[in-house]
Structure 1
Amino acid sequence: MLLLLLLLLLLLLLLLLLLLLLLLLLLLLLLLLQLLLLLLLLLLLLLLLLLLLLLLLLLLLLLLLLLLLLLLLLLLLLLLLLLLLLLLLLLLLLRLLRLLLLLLLLLLLLLLLLLRLLLLLLLLLLLLLLLLLLIPLLLLLLLVIILVVV
């Protein structure tokens, strides 16, 4: 009977040991699962960080492209303004040239008028000289006529 009791105790002990082993295995499995979950979470976090970094890089690239486009537009606007200014200057120069031509024409007309006046004055002087020359001749003729009549 004692032997049976011992055997039963042994069996119970074995069962307890088995149970303990099973519990330990379960605990180990749980720990492993938790570790796996932690690793997965870490991987997910890393992936999220990488995605965020990529997004930031893309945003930076887009901003740079926008800035470049804005700079190009500003340069084009400046070039257009310069062209407009050049055109305005050319127009002003053309007007000034036209004004200068008009002034030159006026001066030429004035010179022509002065020349005409000078010619008229010369003609008048010539007429006066002729008259002055004719007066003594007329006087002489008158004298001759008087002498002939007398």
Structure 2
Amino acid sequence: MDPVKDSNNLNEEQPRQSQEPEPSTSTDSKRTRPKRGRPRGANRTPLSLEEKRARNAQYERERREELAKAQRELAEAAGCDPNITQTNLMINVIMRLKTKRRERLEDIKRVNRKLKKKIKKLKLARDQAEQVAPSTPQPGTTF
């Protein structure tokens, strides 16, 4: 016969299991990510200190992975070494953005200068055409 086990012995033999859903590592959409924290309910068993630490460690790992992924993508888009420090990456990206802005402004100014020259040429051509063309009589007038 099996010895009768009291409730204290049951808890010692079976480890506590967390009722939390498995955390998702995808960062594509916030809808697919499970809700953080404890599930609601009156009869849930409290987490032990070890379980709380493990849960928080998992959240921290996810946060660091997301940050590292974003930094790698930014470094790739900026054409930098993927192992560059975050500070140097930000400096590099800011400098590239400023350079691009200056280049765009210079391009716009160059296009504006060309358009102004073209307008002047067209005005001169129009004025010359008006001077050369004989004046035509107005309709309804007779000589």
TM-score above 0.5, yes or no? no
- TM-score interval, smaller chain: 0.3 to 0.5
More relative contact order, 1 or 2 (CA 8 Å, 6+ apart): 2
Structure ranking higher in helix proportion? 1
TM-score, length-scaled by structure 2 = 0.35
TM-score, length-scaled by structure 1 = 0.33
